[in-house]
Every structure is written in structure tokens, then in C-alpha cells.
Amino acid sequence: MSSLYNENGILKGQKNRINLLAIIFTVLIFILIARLFYLQIIRGGYYYKLAKNNATRIIYLTAPRGNILSSKGKILVDNESSFNIAITLAHIENLKAELIFLARLMHQNYNKFLKTVKKEEFLPSYEPIILMRNISVKELSKFEVNKLFLPGFFIAKIPIRHYPYKKIGAQIFGYVGPVSSSQLKEKKYDYLNSSDIVGETGLEYYYQKYLHGKDGEKRVVVNSHGEPIGKIIIKKPVMGANLYTTLDLPLERLAYKLMKKREGAVIAINPNNGKILAMVSTPSFNPFYFSEGISQKRWDKIIKNDQHPLENKAIQNALAPGSTFKVIGALAALSLHLITPKEKIYSGSTFKLGNAVFYNWNPNQKSKINLYRAIAESVDTYFYSIGVKISVNKLANYAFKFGFGRKTGIDLPDENPGFIPTRQLVYKIYHRHWYKGSTLSAIIGQSYDIVTPIQLVTAYSSIANGGNMYRPYLLKKIVSQNGRILKEMKPKLIKHIDIKKSYLSAVKKGLCDVVNKDYGTAVNGRIDGITFCGKTGTAQIISKTYSIYDIKKIPRKYRDNAWFVGFAPLKNPKIAVVVLDMHANFLGANAAVIAKKIVEKYLEQKGLWKPPVRKKVNGKVKSKSKVPSFIYTSF
């Protein structure tokens, strides 16, 4: 009986506990429902507004672009921080009012801001749009003081390009600019976002993917005023890879200094592998203006400059080569057994072909001369006598052998292939028939012949090294931020030119006489202790005979273009140089002096040459040789 009583008591106690738990659970459910009713029904509007005003903002952290360096690791292009005003449309309540407020605050044009926003409307509403780039400290202070009135606007800190040497090398490095809406739609730019900058020209464009790096990301909770109230995730940006060039910085700076006040180009190259040592195009420009978003005023000034500073004249400017092209005619004539190097041919002041008369640049020329002298004195009539024996197509074939009429393949965009005439090409492109007299002009580098400085120095490098043609290149290596070599450029032999070494040697002797004989046209380029070889050339703009001292009386746009291309030393050459001096004052003779100074600098750096000690005559340093005062139209 007692046992039964105890069991009933236990069961009754358990039932009471279950009932109690049920009551407690019911009460809790009631409280939860009541709370949900309160939050969603009674206070729902308030919390909806709060949730709307507190949002997660994604801020892209732009990765710094990789540095561009010289062959020895000197920085040529790097980065510096810039402050930019950005807007996120997802957090804007009254776009027009806020843009007007910002425009008045910053003394900017409202329509310009609106146009920028409209251009980027296709982007997700949470993605930032840059309205003002690289703002000043004063503008930054103004924004910070007034940011409470600008919800949805914020300061984006973005790295921009810095150019320690300003205009030097501008066309090589190229410039960058804000990525455009059209570029963002292109597949090749699918890794970019709207706040990125992108390479537009030069190495910046050619090696864009390596230099760009990987953007980071910051997700921040902000309130209705755009103020951050909590940080969620930060993904750090990874700087782009560093690009080491083949450029010799002291040589690059010297070349620019020599060409700074001229229009033209200079290239120095290692003739044994195609490595670019220096490349200059003038006039130049400061690429920094593009990094910050170039103003219309600056853009108009650059674009309207008739000397085209944006153009890389070293690879894009194709002009008549003048007498520098005579070596092609000489090698063609030797290979076709039309002449021998020592054979003397009468070369007068004129050459007649039918009723047409072709003139020599030197009216006093009246003698029999061999190939060496013809090259050294650049005797037109000697080459006219070759021109009547050779067809333009055969002449073109030898030009093609040396890379003319085709791109060299240098690692820069927009290279000009130039043009070498054949009978068929001239008819196809210009709808004109070819006449024998045109071949006489073509063989001395006039007529339809147009070449670029890079083609010319590549061809002469092939002559200098015995017939090997190398692809010219600017990239040494690309190295990631953790030190891994991503890409390394090796010399690339394009081909060995099938021409007898004895013929190349004969032409080289003539080129050495150009500089080292007193009758040579580039005697001013002579280097004491070094056999410097090369060729002057003048491409006529108009047909007019004038004295070298009358050139300044000719309007600049009508002055001839001067060339010099050469290499040194004769045996085992270390450097080849081309100089294009457009609308020059002293033509090929002066271009040779520029080339000489570059060669001297390079060989001195390599320990292969020392400047001679100049002797004094009557207490004065003996002056250098003067430019000859003869009358001419071209050499």
C-alpha cells in the first residue's frame, strides 16, 4: 500500500513539473510573438528606415601599379598617393541637390559631375564613381568639413603614377588614365573596376596585365550620413609586378638633353642582341597629367602641337631615309655583280636619263670614284649609275632583307611598318605607274621610300655585326613583389641575312670613311681612339638648293630632315645609334655630333674609351672641326 502511494506521488510530481514547463514555454512564445508584433508592426517602419540607412559599402582598394625601372634598377616610374572624391549611388537620396552642393563647394561644373555619373550608370549602385581626382589639401579639408551634407560621398585614396624624370622617356613608358566605361565592357579588361587606371600607350599598355596588380576590397557598414560604424572585411591589394627595362639611365638622360630643343628621335641599341639602351622622342610631354585625369585645356594644347609630342617618333614616324639608304643600293649592286668595291665609276655633278637631269648634292663633283669614296662623300650620281642597272623590285628585295617595309617587332604598341616601293605596290596603293627615273630617286632614299628610326638602326646593326638581325626589345624582366621572375626577355635572332661578308665589309669600310676621312660627310663625328662608322642622310621637304649657312632663312616646316646612323667600334661593335633631327639647322653633320656624344658616353661607361686631353695652342684649347661651307641639297 505504501509502495503504491509513493508511485502515485512521483507521477503527480512529474505531471506538475511538465505542466509548469508548458506554462513557461507558452509564456515565452507569447512574449516572442508580442515582441515580433511590436518590432514588425508597431515599430516596423522605424526599423526599416534604420536598416535602409545602415548599409554595407564596398570600397575597392586600388592596387598600386608595378614600378618601371632601368636595367640597373633605378626607378623610372613609380606611385604616389592621391585623394579622390567618389560617390556611391546606392546611398544618395537627392542626386541633383548633392551634386550641385559639391560643385559649388569645389568650384566645379555641376554638368561635368552629372555627365560623369551618367557615363557610369550601368555599374552596380554600390560601386564607387570617381568625380574628382587627385584633389589638393585645401579641397580635401573643404570636403571633410562638409561631409555631413554629402551622404554617399567619400574620399577614395588611390595610388597614381609618379614620374621622377618628368618628360624623359614619356613615349616609351606611355601614360595611364582612368578606365573608361567602354573599356570596362571589353573582355580583356574584365578584371578592372570603375576606379581603376589603365595603361593607354607605351610599356604601360603593352605590359598592362603584369603592371596592374590585384585590387583589394573593404566592406564597411555605414549609417545614413555615410559615416562608417563598423568594419567587416578587408582584403589587401597586391601591387603589380615590377618591370625592369633594358634602358641605360645615364645614356637616356644624355640623349634627351641633346634632343630637348629639337624635334626628332634618338635610339641607341646593342647591335649584338637588339637590347635598347636609350630611346628618345622629342618634343615630349609629362605623363603625370594623364594620371590625374587630363584637363581639356591641357589636352587641346598637346593635340594642337604640330610637333606631335604624344607620338613616339622612334617607332611611329616613317620618313624618307635620304642617303642612309644608299647602303642598301650598294649591297644590292655588289650582290648582283653590277659593281666591285674598287671599281671606279665616273660621277659628275649631273646624271642624265633621257630628257631628265638628276643632280648631285655637290655641284663640284667631277671624277671617277670607287664605292668607298661614293659612300664617304655620299655621291648621288654614283648611285644613279647603279639605279639605271637595277629594277625597283630587286632593290626592294634587298631592303626587305634588312627589315625595311615591315615591323621590327619591338615590344611597344603602334609600330609603323614604313613603306618600300615595288612596281606592284605603288600601282596598288597609289594607282601610279613606275618609271625608271623613280628608281634613281629610290636608291638614294627619296621617292616612296619611308622608314622609321628603329628600322634604320636595326638594319645598320645587322651590317655592323656581320649579318645577324635581332628583334629590338625594351623589356629585361618582370618580377613579382615576392621576387619571382614572371617573364624574362632573351635576345631573339630574327634571321641571318644571306649576303657575303666581303660585301658587308666593303660597305663598312665606306661607312668608316664617312666619319674618319677628311672628305667624309660626318667628319665632325670623329672620335679620338675609336673607329666610329656611320652614314649621314638628308631627306628633302622641298627641292631647293641652299647654303648650309642659309638654312635658318628657310621656314622651319620646309627645312630638310637630317639623319645619322652609325656604330662603334668597327671591330666587335658595342653600340649602334640613329639620330633623326627633323627640320634641322645643320643637317646630317650635326646629327653625327649628337650620335658621337652618345657613343662616347656609353663607351666611357664601359671602360672602353677615355676622353682625350685637348692640347692648347697659344694658351687656348684647339677648337673642333667646323661644318664645311659647301652648297648642297642633301647628303
Distance of CA 264 to the CA centre of its chain: 15
- Residue listed under C-alpha cell 511590436: 38
449 C-beta neighbours (distance < 10 Å), count: 27
pLDDT tens column, 384-437? 999 999 999 999 999 999 999 999 999 999 999 999 999 999 999 999 999 999
What average pLDDT does the segment 142-148 reach?
90
Between CA 539 and CA 545 the distance in angstroms is 13
Write down the mean pLDDT value for the chain: 87
**Measured at the alpha carbon of residue 470, what is the angle toward residues 466 and 474, in degrees to the nearest 5?**
135
Are 564 and 534 in contact by the 8 Å Cβ rule? The answer is yes
**Which amino acid appears at position 481 of this protein?**
Q
Distance of CA 206 to the CA centre of its chain: 9
Query: Domain 252-606: what homologous superfamily?
Result: DD-peptidase/beta-lactamase superfamily (3.40.710.10)
Half-sphere exposure of residue 482: CA atoms within 13 angstroms, side-chain side: 4
Considering only residues 18 and 385, tell me which one the structure prediction assigns the higher pLDDT.
Answer: 385
Q: State the pLDDT at residue 635.
A: 37
Q: What is the dihedral of CA 517, 335, 561, 459, to 10 degrees?
A: -100
**DSSP string covering 548-603:** GGGGGGS-GGGSPEEEEEEEE-SSS--EEEEEEEET-SSHHHHHHHHHHHHHHHHH
Between CA 526 and CA 74 the distance in angstroms is 32
Half-sphere exposure of residue 630: CA atoms within 13 angstroms, side-chain side: 16
- The CATH code of the domain at 62-245 is 3.90.1310.10
Range with top average pLDDT, 95-104, 186-195, 401-410: 401-410
**Which amino acid appears at position 391 of this protein?**
S
- Residue listed under C-alpha cell 615630349: 284
Q: Say what the pTM is.
A: 0.83
Percent of the chain with pLDDT over 70: 84
